[in-house]
Amino acid sequence: MMSRQYYPIGEQDFKSLREMECVYVDKTRFIDVMLSSRNKYFFLARPRRFGKSLFLSTLQYFFEGKRELFKNLYIDTTNWDWKPYPVLRLDLNRNKFADEEALDEVLDNLFRKWEKEYRVETIADQLSSRFENIIEAAYKHTGCQVVILVDEYDKPLVGNVNNDIIFEHYRTKLAGIYSNFKSSAQYIRLVFLTGVSRFSKLSVFSDLNNLKDITFSDDFADVCGITEKELLENFQPGIQRLASKRKVNFEDAYLSLKRNYDGYRFTPEGSDIYNPWSLLNAMSEARIGGYWNATGAATVIAEALKNAEVDLEKTLNARWSLDRLAGLDLRNADPTALLYQTGYLTIGNYDFENETVKLKVPNEEVKKGLFNDMLPIYTKGKRGVIEGVVADIIDAIRYGEAEKIMRNLDTYFASIPYDLRIEHENNFQNALYILLTLIGVDAKAEVHTSDGRIDLLIETPKYIYILELKYNASSDLALRQIEDKQYSRKFTSDSRKIFMIGVNFSSKTRRIQDWKIKTI
């Protein structure tokens, strides 16, 4: 019988994790990759809860020379001399930064600690100057160059994106702090920064032109997260425990984990990555759940998508260049870049000829979380309303009951209070797409044919549903368009039964006005 494993849920301290003998996926080979390069300034962007803090903690103990913690890990087999370096770690991840003084307080507390440790007299008023003095003093006090680790460098900015005064105050303050990475280069061994994004237009790194961004580097593709190989090498007892609890075989339990938590890809040629937070929680609880979604809602992103009036299906399957994804204008963020950098979209494939990536929603957990947060924003209805009609819609689609589908959709939209209902045509189409996709239906929006575009296409093993959506028109007009443009022609050789459904949505009543159905 396999022994019970212990999982470091929320544990971001490498020393504690190792001493408690928790499961640890060895990422120390990436330290060797860094040391083998000629760079000493690194930046890595990854979504929240992907292990960035743990990797920084690993770097901290490594450079502090704590070799006993690295026994049986890759880096212990290298010829590193394990000489201790002074390490300055700025952890900006644990504070909310709600006012102008919050960042100053965090930095002041850190600097006082280091000033005491390296015997620096606090004579400078500016935090930037104090940090410069600390770096030099740490070098002179120890005789070794300094390692600087910054966890979530952008947290103060992200939290104040809608507050111009505090945002600019923090941007200026952080730019001054980070400018020391260049001015104090002679005293520095390595700088490693993490964050959700490298904001291109904030001038935070304007003086640091030799910062190596490894976000899209294939050499660091799986520095955070868990690969398929790592899952099977490190978590077999946990997978078996999940299988036993769910009363399924090992393969089914593994596939359930893959469907819900795999699918992330961060570099052009990188392998698929499992979300470590969700995977560890699923192993610990022996249950498939929405663990990553519970750590933060997508409400702000959903509002941005709605306000931009984007075609949702296209946005969630967009093709972009890596350069566009790498630089995010935080004050005027494109919804697609925002979705990618916050983890709701990931790289699906890479076109080497055109140097573009096809984006996708990574897995079922993310899709459910995102759509659950988007649906009430697009429809402005209560989330719980959907539960009463979901089963009926699913059954009706499965059994070819087109009239029942429309009655239940009408019930759903009619249940929303009048003053909260959908007001725009594009939002109606997106709301339908979200609703159907959320309940597991294979729905596609804006499907191209030789004569036009199908507004919404639903396919099952036995049935095809072609929906044309009109706004303040008539269902007769919508159905006639399906016939005139011969949208069903692409399915001529298909043996499945085809339903053509014309739907009219009224801006006056803000609900489905009527529908017409014809079968082939």
Same structural domain for residues 188 and 303?
no
pLDDT tens by residue, 70-104 = 999 999 999 999 999 999 999 998 788 888 899 99
The answer to whether position 369 is within a domain reads: no
Q: Rounded CA gap, 302 and 308, in Å?
A: 10
Q: Rounded CA gap, 329 and 247, in Å?
A: 48
The answer to whether position 444 is within a domain reads: yes
Q: Is 182 left (phi over 0), alpha (psi -120 to 50) or beta?
A: alpha
pLDDT at site 420: 42
Against a cut of 0.85, is the pTM above it?
A: no
**Cα angle 493-495-498, degrees, rounded to a multiple of 5:** 95
CB 146 within 8 Å of CB 100: no
Same structural domain for residues 70 and 209?
yes
Element (H, E) at 341: helix 335-341
Number of domains present in the structure of the chain:
4
* pLDDT above 70 for 321: yes
Question: Which of 263, 294, 325 is the C-terminal boundary of a domain?
Answer: 294
**Cα angle 247-248-253, degrees, rounded to a multiple of 5:** 120
* pLDDT above 90 for 218: yes
Same structural domain for residues 406 and 359?
no
Domain extent, residue 240, equals: 226-294
User: How distant is the alpha carbon of residue 460 from its chain centre?
Assistant: 29
CATH number at 70 reads 3.40.50
pLDDT band at 517 (very low <50, low <70, confident <90, very high): very high
Same structural domain for residues 69 and 199?
yes
Most confident listed range (187-196, 315-324, 351-360, 424-433): 187-196
CB 510 within 8 Å of CB 415: no
Beta strands in 48-199 (DSSP E): 87-91, 146-151, 188-195
The answer to whether position 407 is within a domain reads: yes
Please give the full DSSP string across 318-339, using - where no structure is assigned: -EEEHHHHHB--GGG--HHHHH
CATH number at 484 reads 3.40.1350
The answer to whether position 3 is within a domain reads: no
CA nearest to 460, candidates 481, 439, 480, 475: 439
Same structural domain for residues 199 and 277?
no
The answer to whether position 401 is within a domain reads: yes
The answer to whether position 504 is within a domain reads: yes
Q: What's the whole-number average pLDDT of the chain? A: 87
Question: Which of 253, 271, 294 is the C-terminal boundary of a domain?
Answer: 294
pLDDT at site 312: 73
For range 416-439, the mean pLDDT: 64
For range 422-444, the mean pLDDT: 72
CB 122 within 8 Å of CB 130: yes
pLDDT band at 391 (very low <50, low <70, confident <90, very high): confident
Residue whose tokens read 């849920």: 9
Same structural domain for residues 42 and 155?
yes
For range 232-251, the mean pLDDT: 95
- What per-residue string of b and e applies to 40-54 under the rule 16 or more CB within 10 Å gives b? bbbbbbbbebbbbbb
Can you give 230-245 as a three-state secondary structure string?
A: HHHHHCHHHHHHHHHH
Q: Is 87 left (phi over 0), alpha (psi -120 to 50) or beta?
A: beta
Beta strands in 55-130 (DSSP E): 87-91
pLDDT tens by residue, 37-54 = 889 999 999 999 999 999
**Which tokens is 415 given?**
């249940």
Same structural domain for residues 96 and 192?
yes
Same structural domain for residues 275 and 392?
no
Same structural domain for residues 101 and 141?
yes
CB 216 within 8 Å of CB 266: yes
* pLDDT above 60 for 387: no
Same structural domain for residues 143 and 290?
no
Same structural domain for residues 247 and 281?
yes
Same structural domain for residues 126 and 213?
yes
pLDDT tens by residue, 340-386 = 888 999 999 898 888 899 999 999 999 888 877 776 666 555 445 55
CA nearest to 398, candidates 472, 461, 451: 461
The answer to whether position 191 is within a domain reads: yes
Element (H, E) at 201: none
Q: Rounded CA gap, 480 and 211, in Å?
A: 59
Q: What are residue 21's phi and psi, to 5 degrees?
A: 60, 40
Question: 179 vs 57, 153, 203, 208, 263, CA distance in Å?
Answer: 23, 13, 10, 7, 37
pLDDT at site 237: 95
The answer to whether position 183 is within a domain reads: yes
Q: Rounded CA gap, 150 and 11, in Å?
A: 18
Q: Rounded CA gap, 404 and 512, in Å?
A: 14
pLDDT at site 421: 45
CA nearest to 8, candidates 46, 41, 53: 53
Q: Rounded CA gap, 467 and 21, in Å?
A: 56
Q: Is 253 left (phi over 0), alpha (psi -120 to 50) or beta?
A: alpha
Which residue type sits at 462?
Answer: K
CA nearest to 174, candidates 140, 145, 208: 208
Question: Which of 187, 204, 220 is the C-terminal boundary of a domain?
Answer: 220
